[in-house]
Chains A and B, each alone.
Chain A
Amino acid sequence: MEIFLQQIINGLVQGSVYALVALGYTMVYGILGLINFAHGEVVMIGAMLALSSLTALLGWGVTPLLALPLSISLAMLGCMVLGYSIERIAYRPLRHAPRLAPLITAIGVSIVLQNLAMMIWGRSYHSFPQLIANNPHNIGGAIINNIQIIIFVLALAFMAGLMVVVNRTRLGRAMRAVAENQHAAQLMGVDINRVISITFMIGSALAAIAGVMVSANYGLAHYYMGFILGLKAFTAAVLGGIGNLRGAMLGGLLLGLIESLGAGYIGDLTGGFFGSNYQDVFAFFVLIAVLVLRPSGLLGERLAERA
């Protein structure tokens, strides 16, 4: 039982990171119909920026409790600029091009960012300083530490904040309008370029947070870390119904749970025929299953309603 509980906790922590990243995919898809494959790299850049600024701040003698929020803010700011630039330079000129063009460009941007990071931060792994006391809490035999609690709570808070922005504010209304119909929104006086830029910036800021969370949790940062994470988060977004914010959150958490329970129990359930080496396969198996059985995802709208 305690093992089961531990797997649930593992899954929820991992899933909340997936969910945050998945929001970035889903927001951009909802508005532009574009899968921004560079999003995973934005997560990585966020982690790297936070790490660099944190090291610098601590070096200048800033207290850890001040340095941490400051470096996270810097990483968010840096990623917002990055997200804006990616959209402005790589996607906006292709907005009316065939759909294939921006998709391939997205992959190009991803490769460029990854190699840029390799040139700036090197090939080595960077260890992320441990600033939050890592005292483990025991819940019914399962272990959860402070960082994991913070990750889960913070992820939920940011998701809730995003829901408020999208559903309750003027900006959110503009975003929904652009998602619904760009031309109509433009005719109604919505500055669609501005809305799209802001969407990219919000998504990138969330990616930066996710990057810091991953780095703080595993205690490492590497120029390669965004790639698999990005693919998993994309899967989570599709699972929940891409373009749907609630779907991305649900998909992220579900994917985390599927992975940890799958990896934890498949060996025992199949008598060792399948093993935990299939952990990463679960994500992509889920992706294929969703696309075949329910292409619109769990919470996605039925195609007929909008086509």
Chain B
Amino acid sequence: MSLHSVRSLLFGTIVSVLLSLTLYGCEKSASTDQKTSGDLAVRIGASAPLTGPQAHLGKDNENGTRMAIDDANAKGIVIGGRKVHFDLISEDDQADPKTATIVAQKLVDDKVNGVIGHLNSGTTIPAAKIYSDNGIPQISPSATAVAYTAQGFKTAFRVMANDAQQGRVLGEYAAKNLGAKRIAVIDDRTAYGQGLADEFIKSAEASGAQIVAHEYTNDKAMDFTAVLTAVKGKKPDLLFYGGMDAQGGPMAKQLKALALKLKFMTGDGGYTPEFIKLAGAAAEGAYASLPGVPLDKMPGGKAFADRFVAKYGPIQLYAPYCYDAVNVMIAAMQKAGSADPAKYLPALADITYDGVTAKIQFDEKGDLKGGAITMYQVQHGKWQPLETLGVAKTAAH
């Protein structure tokens, strides 16, 4: 081996480290459908991870958003006396906070009238500043971290309960309803996973349970045997995972392979068909929560689900929330009689809209008012609702 080859080896190492840091799924897939006509063109920006381990969820978000936009175009919405054509500009943020800010800037440069996104809390939080600086309203369908709306931006909204609401319900449910005494927690160190786990721990401890272990993984991992073995040594009776289905599913499976007999619980990121597919038989009995009430209990929820499934296949997770987010935005534009961000933003802040996931009203921070949380369990290979907790305002229809 010559000195020359050592140099190329070193270079290769640098490249590999750089790759691991920045080039997670380098391909950027932007789908822009712009039809030009005499109508007023309104651009809706959307951003979610369309590549990488969460690509299935990102595509689901895009489909939900697209369906709402197609519906609006088919209906022929009129805003301020002019017929409107909505265009979707969808961008891939790779679930990466750094990429998200670039994407946000691009959407701003594309002069979007509003943004539906992002999917992850970690991407939504830094992007929110860019939208706020440019006065563009942003509705996240799925970011649950408290920090998102706590930044004080007037343009930031979400149509989903936050981690404080969800973590509180999860912690109480684990300690009180399931009677867990020794709880182990694993989180994926993302803004979402970490935030939810922290709220869960607070609530579980307040309800009398003891946290015996807190281990970590990341949102790209596949192997959890090492951390699960460490957890096993602490002899917990319940394991809570703060993170997404791509890790939650295999984790549940590896739990079983390591013969850990305990209850497995996760948040909304795990409430997907993908989770059950990945965990296989080990999914049985797992618990998860999802903000809102079950879709088939909502007026219009069943009809939405049927149409969505016929067009795009099974709903992964947040598609209904994306659908609602777009419709709320359009409703605010109609109310204000303008698609100008500065003009319809006040209308958005005090809107009341009956969506497919909830009756949507925002509080002064931009959070969803009175978010109900439903607990689900895998029974016979399907997520079945157990009970709806929290303020169930939405069910009163």
Residues on A facing B (Cβ under 8 Å): 3, 6-7, 10-11, 13-14, 33, 35, 37, 99-100, 103, 107, 111, 114-115, 118, 123-125, 127, 130, 134, 136, 138, 143, 145, 214, 218-220, 222, 224-225, 227-228, 231, 234-235, 238, 242-243, 259-265, 267-268, 272, 275-277, 279-280, 284, 287-288, 291, 295-296, 300-301, 303, 306-307
Contact = CB atoms under 8 A, between A and B. Distances in A.
B4 interface: yes
A300 B1 contact: yes
A295 B6 contact: yes
A249 to B, nearest CB: 19
Given A125-B56, A127-B278, A224-B52, A33 B5 contact: yes
| Interface of B, helix, strand, loop or mixed by DSSP | helix
B13 interface: yes
B2 A220 contact: no
User: Which 4 A-B residue pairs are closest in the complex by CB-CB distance?
Assistant: A277-B216, A123-B55, A263-B226, A260-B226
Interface stretch (B16-24, B78-86, B127-135, B370-378): B16-24
A291 B13 contact: yes
A228 B220 CA distance: 8
A115 B9 CA distance: 26
B257 A275 contact: no
A125 B215 contact: no
Contacts, number: 174
A192 B357 CA distance: 64
Contact of A279 (B3, B227, B250): B227
Contacts of A263: 215, 226-227, 230
B32 interface: no
A123 B249 CA distance: 16
Contacts of A300: 1
Nearest to A243: B1
Given A259-B226, A291-B10, A127 B215 contact: no
Interface in B131-157: none
Contacts of A219: 250, 253, 278, 280
Given A222-B53, A260-B225, A264-B229, A277 B17 contact: no
B274 A307 contact: no
Given A125-B249, A220-B278, 19 more contacts: A10-B225, A10-B226, A37-B15, A99-B4, A99-B8, A99-B11, A114-B25, A123-B56, A125-B56, A214-B222, A218-B250, A220-B249, A231-B20, A238-B13, A263-B230, A272-B214, A277-B216, A300-B1, A306-B1
A238 B14 CA distance: 13
A46 B55 CA distance: 21
A279 B56 contact: no
Nearest to B187: A277
B51 interface: yes
A295 B9 contact: yes
Interface string B208-228: 000000111110111101110
Interface residues of B, number: 59
Given A264-B230, A279-B217, A220 B222 contact: yes
A307 B257 contact: no
Contact of A103 (B4, B11, B221, B250): B11
A275 B230 CA distance: 11
B120 to A, nearest CB: 16
A135 to B, nearest CB: 11
Given A7-B229, A33-B5, A242-B9, A284 B17 contact: yes
B277 A125 contact: yes
Contact of B223 (A114, A218, A296, A303): A218
Given A3-B233, A276-B217, A218 B222 contact: yes
Contact of A143 (B51, B53, B258, B280): B258
Given A118-B51, A123-B56, A136-B259, A277 B189 contact: yes
7 contacts: A107-B15, A118-B51, A124-B56, A261-B226, A275-B216, A279-B226, A295-B9
Contacts of A267: 215, 230
A251 to B, nearest CB: 14
B214 to A, nearest CB: 7
Given A143-B257, A276-B216, A264 B227 contact: yes
Contacts of B11: 99-100, 103
Contacts of A227: 24
